[in-house]
Amino acid sequence: MSTPRTLRMGEAVPLAEIPRLDTAGFRARVTDVAWRLRLVALFGRPSYALTASEGRPSSSSVAAEGQSAVEPGAPVTLTAIFADDRNGQMQAFSTDVGASYPALTPDCPQANGFEREIAEQWGVRPEGHPWLKPLRYHRSAVPGRDAWGRAPGTAIEPSVTDFFRVEGEAVHEVAVGPVHAGVIEPGHFRFQCFGETVLHLEIALGYQHRGVEQALRHGDARRVMPYMETLAGDTTIGHATAYAQALESAAGARVSARAHALRAVALELERLANHTGDLGALAGDVAFLPTMSYCGRIRGDFLNMTALICGNRFGRGLVRPGGVRWDLDPARKDELLSRLAAAEADTKSAVELMFDSPSVLARFEETGTVSFDECESLGLVGPAARACGAERDVRQDFPGGMYRFQQIPVGTWSTGDVFGRAFVRWLEIQRSIAFIREVLQTLPEGDVLAPCGPLAPDSLVVSLVEGWRGEVAHVLITGAQGQREFYKIVDPSFHNWMGLAIAMRDQAISDFPICNKSFNLSYCGHDL
Amino acid sequence: MASIEHIGAACAQTGLLVVLGPLVTGFIQKIKARLQCRQGASVWQPYQDLAKLLRKGTVQSDTASPFFQVVPVLVLAATVTAAAMLPVLRSSVGSSALPFGDAILLVALLALARFLLAIGALDAGGAFGGMGASREMTVGLLVEPALMLVVFSVAIVGGTTELGDLATRRHTLAAMAWQAPDLLAFFAMLVLIPAETGRIPVDNPDTHLELTMLHEGMLLEHSGPGLACIALATHTKQIVILSLTVALFCPYGMAQDITPEALGLALAAFVAKLFVFVVFLGVIESSYAKMRFFRVPQFLALGLLCAFLSLALRIL
């Protein structure tokens, strides 16, 4: 067995250096590392991408649903990327598979979602997968190959599939969604209940599938940035930064320190707005009205600070490969600092009011608990993982940009319940505010945007950013001419949806809303 | 026996309760909004909501039986009839509209309305209706006995369960002066009021989260004029519970005979007492989170215990 190629965040690795194992060797390697490393991404792609220019299908043969035609029966290359959070290193290895391969999920539960995705996208069946269902309800990119043997003409409807069922006299099933009462995204939740107690929750998504990854591979290059900024609308800066980082790494471009600082400020403002909004929404879900209404307003204040930098409340149009498009003049910097101080005081009083209320704590504590072991085996990320005691934060483990110069402490809690997830958000709010203040007070001088040169050919780049919801992972693979050959996006929600399902086991069904809100996962970030 | 004049006066009092019901809700909403530093909707908003619902069409689940359609009317009828048992402005003997109308019938009619609503929710066949109905019946199971004990605790001294008589005797009977058991019973009533009116910490009237709903869960399948009937019944039930508390514990200021001055004074006293309760409910709603449903029985058991102790003290 060849030694694993370790790679660092934002390093352009020649594809030839990534070990290609046989299927058994690949499986053995995954089983070997799964218990101690975290699966960042596991994806399939057509094998021709590796074999230089030969045998590549012409771009004119485009199949249905806007996906490129892959030759029927073409082998698919699976690539696994594992992260060693403690050492700040990653491992990548790959294998070629045909129409099926032995599933990894039984030995590596983190692979569950990824294997379902591979089966759906490439028609490759992971044999022995415990619950192989479609993930986003679309056709495979390989004509005539379908992991479930569905005929080419049949309609594929979201959530029309098998659901796990508990049988019994007093067991009842509650179906919620895809249309919800609040202004939220569509998703289907199927509860198996015994009275008020939830025995099992199954989540079926896919309603928001837009085909972004396919469009990125084959679409108009000018539309790439708008796609990145709307992968998950609330993680605009997170995804845009991950993309910019990937491109800059592949191009070997140098980004000015000032641009890095402004990106970090925008990323932390995004975190502040969303965390504050989440704490308010959590208060709202337990009907604690004061914090709900204050935090709703303060979230707007943070969004307006982002707008002060770039004119858009969600930071659209700010981050570009090579830097940022808007500089911050001294007058607006001072304005930003004074607004930050005001928002800090408001947030403190609103949030402490909530955490000082026994009636709120009685709802939060010991609700929706995820154990540390479950967190590890599912590979949870972000505040959801930190609330279980996992010290895992891209800003510390795989620092990029400004975070290499200015550290931010990782806030963790040990209970893994709704309180833990809420409290970690509050810790992060305080630290983000301190971080922004520090960065703004020592803002480096210089230009903010420089052109990003041509990309290195036949390379793989893994770009990680700690978005407010957790690790945003982008994987870029370039072709022989340095073109964008393959692009893979893993939103933090992709890891964490299963965490929500596990958190609901043996909980009261009336506690689902606060459990759901404490994770606050993205539907469109998952469905892409 | 009840004269035409008595019946007229009782009907007017019932009408007053039904008309004022939505305003009480409107004021509670306004107080909540002001406590959150919001402007809030007008206090007349509940009336506008009712008018809006009355103009709308009805959509009904395919699985619902014809009985489902009459549920809202029956619920409203039961609640309004319960309101007729109450002395509001006038408390002379026999002032209620119905000669047999007493506190026991009032509690029974409210229980009937609750039962009808739950049956209707189960009839529509939705999962949320079933959950709401099951939770509401669980709450009812604890609230109704406690309510009966509170009534008995006062009635045992007054020697009657007729609320008009009880209110009069508060003024005239020395034994009806406030005593420790009254305090206990009143405290029990304060615990029961949020449960009976579907408010925090037992229920959240403003939630859109189907999975957490108690009362609202049972209304999900209703629409249009039917929903308007149930909404009006909910407003009426709220003011009935508040007026019951007033009649049992502080009927002061009620008119003994029908003169404009006495009635005006009685109306002012009634509105002032309602306003105190409205502020109480608004402040409670703004300062506590909703309880976990499994803890609601413990909370209501506190009310039940106080009511029981109150009655025990009276008997011993």
- Which residues of chain A neighbour B40 with C-beta distances below 8 Å? none
How many residues in chain A?
528
Report ipTM (2 d.p.): 0.85
Number of domains forming the structure of chain A = 3
Instruction: Please indicate, yes or no, whether residues A195 and A221 belong to a single structural domain of this protein.
Output: no
What residues contact residue A499 under an 8 Å CB cut-off, 6+ apart? A370, A374, A375, A378, A380, A384, A519
- What would the pLDDT profile of A343-366 be if each residue is shown by its tens digit? 999 999 999 999 999 999 999 999
Residue A408 belongs to a domain with what CATH number? 1.10.645.10
Chain A closest CA to B207's CA: distance in Å? 8
Contact B211 A182 (CB under 8 A): no
Contact B288 A357 (CB under 8 A): yes
Coil, strand or helix at A480: coil
Instruction: Please indicate, yes or no, whether residues A265 and A189 belong to a single structural domain of this protein.
Output: no
Complete DSSP assignment for A25-63: HHHHHHHHHHTTSEEEEEEEEEGGGTSTTTTPPPTT-B-
Contact A289 B294 (CB under 8 A): no
Q: Is residue A155 part of a domain?
A: no
pLDDT tier at A479, thresholds 50, 70, 90: confident
Instruction: Please indicate, yes or no, whether residues A78 and A116 belong to a single structural domain of this protein.
Output: yes
Q: CB of B260 within 8 A of CB of B86? A: no
Report which of A122, A146, A149, A116 is spatially closest to residue A134, judged by C-alpha positions: A116
Instruction: Please indicate, yes or no, whether residues A108 and A250 belong to a single structural domain of this protein.
Output: no
- pLDDT(A61) > 50: no
- What would the pLDDT profile of A496-515 be if each residue is shown by its tens digit? 999 999 999 999 998 999 99
Of A173, A289, A509, the CB nearest to B32: A289
In the chain, the amino acid numbered A159 is: S
Question: Which sign does the torsion angle of CA A419, A425, A430, A435 carry?
Answer: positive
Instruction: Please indicate, yes or no, whether residues A287 and A410 belong to a single structural domain of this protein.
Output: yes
Instruction: Determine whether A404 is exposed, middle or buried from the number of CB atoms within 10 Å of its CB (0-12, 13-18, 19+).
Output: exposed
Of B37, B211, B286, the CB nearest to A509: B211
CA atoms in the 13 A half-sphere facing the CB of A484: 20
Instruction: Please indicate, yes or no, whether residues A361 and A470 belong to a single structural domain of this protein.
Output: yes
d(CA A107, CA A72): 30
Q: In chain A, what is the greatest distance between 2 CA atoms, to the nearest angstrom? A: 71
Complete DSSP assignment for A304-359: HHHHHHHS-TT-TTTEETTEES----HHHHHHHHHHHHHHHHHHHHHHHHHHT-HH
Q: Is residue A185 part of a domain?
A: yes
pLDDT tier at A55, thresholds 50, 70, 90: very low
d(CA A362, CA B295): 10
What residues contact residue B66 under an 8 Å CB cut-off, 6+ apart? none
d(CA A376, CA B229): 53
d(CA A335, CA A347): 18
A372-377: list long-range contacts, CB under 8 Å, 24+ apart.
A372/A414, A372/A416, A374/A499, A374/A502, A375/A416, A375/A499, A377/A109, A377/A110
The confidence score (pLDDT) of residue A177 equals 78
pLDDT tier at A87, thresholds 50, 70, 90: confident
Contact B291 A363 (CB under 8 A): yes
- What would the pLDDT profile of A468-478 be if each residue is shown by its tens digit? 999 999 999 98
Of A172, A357, A510, the CB nearest to B289: A357
Question: Which contiguous run of DSSP H or E holds residue A298?
Answer: helix A289-310
Question: Which contiguous run of DSSP H or E holds residue A175?
Answer: strand A171-176
- Which residues of chain A neighbour B133 with C-beta distances below 8 Å? none
Q: Is residue A291 part of a domain?
A: yes
Instruction: Please indicate, yes or no, whether residues A273 and A331 belong to a single structural domain of this protein.
Output: yes
The confidence score (pLDDT) of residue A221 equals 77
Report which of A69, A118, A87, A109 is spatially closest to residue A8, judged by C-alpha positions: A87
Coil, strand or helix at B264: helix
Per-residue confidence in pLDDT tens, chain B, 316 aa: 456 777 777 788 899 999 999 999 999 999 999 998 889 999 999 999 999 999 999 998 888 899 999 999 999 999 999 998 888 887 766 555 556 578 899 999 999 999 999 999 999 888 888 889 999 999 999 999 999 999 999 999 888 888 888 888 887 887 778 888 899 999 999 999 999 998 988 888 888 888 888 888 889 889 999 999 999 999 999 999 999 999 899 888 888 777 888 889 989 999 999 999 999 999 999 999 899 888 999 999 999 999 999 999 998 8
What residues contact residue A177 under an 8 Å CB cut-off, 6+ apart? A186, A187, A188, A189
- Which residues of chain B neighbour A287 with C-beta distances below 8 Å? 200-201, 204, 206-207, 285, 289-290
**Which of A182, A204, A226 is the C-terminal boundary of a domain?**
A204
Q: Is residue A352 part of a domain?
A: yes
The confidence score (pLDDT) of residue A75 equals 84
- pLDDT(A127) > 60: yes
Instruction: Please indicate, yes or no, whether residues A200 and A216 belong to a single structural domain of this protein.
Output: no
pLDDT tier at A98, thresholds 50, 70, 90: confident
Q: Tokens at residue B269, please?
A: 């006293």
Q: Phi/psi of residue A316, each to 5°?
A: -70, 140
Instruction: Please indicate, yes or no, whether residues A179 and A68 belong to a single structural domain of this protein.
Output: no
Domain span at residue A421 reads 212-527
- What would the pLDDT profile of A361-370 be if each residue is shown by its tens digit? 999 999 999 9
- Which residues of chain A neighbour B36 with C-beta distances below 8 Å? 289-290, 292-294
The confidence score (pLDDT) of residue A183 equals 81
- pLDDT(A331) > 80: yes
Q: Is residue A428 part of a domain?
A: yes
Interchain CB contacts (distance < 8 Å): A and B: 80
Q: Is residue A115 part of a domain?
A: yes
Q: Is residue A145 part of a domain?
A: no
Question: Which contiguous run of DSSP H or E holds residue B144?
Answer: helix B127-158
Complete DSSP assignment for A424-470: HHHHHHHHHHHHHHHHHHTPPPS-SB----PPPSSEEEEEEEEETTE
B interface with A, Cβ–Cβ < 8 A, is 32, 35-38, 127-128, 130-131, 200-201, 204, 206-212, 285-295
In the chain, the amino acid numbered B59 is: V
- pLDDT(A467) > 70: yes
**Is A293 touching B (CB cutoff 8 A)?**
yes
How many residues in chain B?
316
What residues contact residue A523 under an 8 Å CB cut-off, 6+ apart? A184, A185, A186, A187, A205, A207, A208, A493
Q: Most B CBs within 10 Å: which of A292, A356, A359, as the mutation test of the B interface?
A: A359
Burial state string for B154-177 with b = 16 or more CB within 10 A and e = fewer than 16: bbebbebbbbbbbbbbbeeeeebe
Specify the DSSP class assigned to residue B90: B
Chain A closest CA to B314's CA: distance in Å? 34
Vertex A141 angle, CA A140 and A146, to 5°? 30
d(CA A7, CA A90): 5
Coil, strand or helix at A521: coil
Question: Which sign does the torsion angle of CA A461, A464, A465, A471 carry?
Answer: positive
- Which residues of chain A neighbour B200 with C-beta distances below 8 Å? 287
Contact A288 B288 (CB under 8 A): yes
Instruction: Please indicate, yes or no, whether residues A122 and A197 belong to a single structural domain of this protein.
Output: no
Q: Which residue of A has its CA nearest to B36?
A: A290
Q: Which residues pair with A102 in a beta bridge?
A: A127
- Which residues of chain A neighbour B35 with C-beta distances below 8 Å? 289-290
- pLDDT(A187) > 80: yes
d(CA A136, CA A153): 18
Quote the mean pLDDT of chain A.
Answer: 88
Q: Tokens at residue A212, please?
A: 């972004």
- Which residues of chain B neighbour A513 with C-beta distances below 8 Å? 209, 211-212
- What would the pLDDT profile of A232-249 be if each residue is shown by its tens digit? 989 999 999 999 999 999
d(CA B28, CA A303): 32
Contact A175 B131 (CB under 8 A): no
Instruction: Please indicate, yes or no, whether residues A345 and A404 belong to a single structural domain of this protein.
Output: yes
pLDDT over 90 for what percent of chain A?
51
Report which of A389, A372, A376, A369 is spatially closest to residue A108, judged by C-alpha positions: A376
Question: Which contiguous run of DSSP H or E holds residue A201?
Answer: strand A197-204
The confidence score (pLDDT) of residue B100 equals 59
Q: CB of A212 within 8 A of CB of A202? A: no
Report which of A103, A82, A9, A4 is spatially closest to residue A39, judged by C-alpha positions: A82
**Which of A179, A204, A229 is the C-terminal boundary of a domain?**
A204
The confidence score (pLDDT) of residue B94 equals 54
pLDDT tier at A62, thresholds 50, 70, 90: very low
Q: Is residue A285 part of a domain?
A: yes
The confidence score (pLDDT) of residue B239 equals 95
- What would the pLDDT profile of B14-38 be if each residue is shown by its tens digit? 999 999 999 999 999 999 999 988 8
**Is A512 touching B (CB cutoff 8 A)?**
yes
**Which of A93, A127, A161 is the C-terminal boundary of a domain?**
A127
Choose the weakest-confidence range: A48-52, A457-461, B118-122, B265-269. Answer: A48-52
Report which of B186, B181, B192, B179 is spatially closest to residue B145, judged by C-alpha positions: B192
Choose the weakest-confidence range: A375-384, A419-428, A442-451. Answer: A442-451
d(CA B260, CA B217): 44
d(CA A170, CA A180): 26
Query: What average pLDDT score do residues A431-452 get?
Result: 90
Q: CB of B87 within 8 A of CB of B98? A: no
Q: Tokens at residue B282, please?
A: 């608004």
Of B127, B206, B290, the CB nearest to A286: B290
Instruction: Please indicate, yes or no, whether residues A218 and A189 belong to a single structural domain of this protein.
Output: no
Residue A34 belongs to a domain with what CATH number? 3.30.460
- pLDDT(A181) > 50: yes
- Which residues of chain A neighbour B289 with C-beta distances below 8 Å? 283, 286-288, 357, 359-360, 362-363
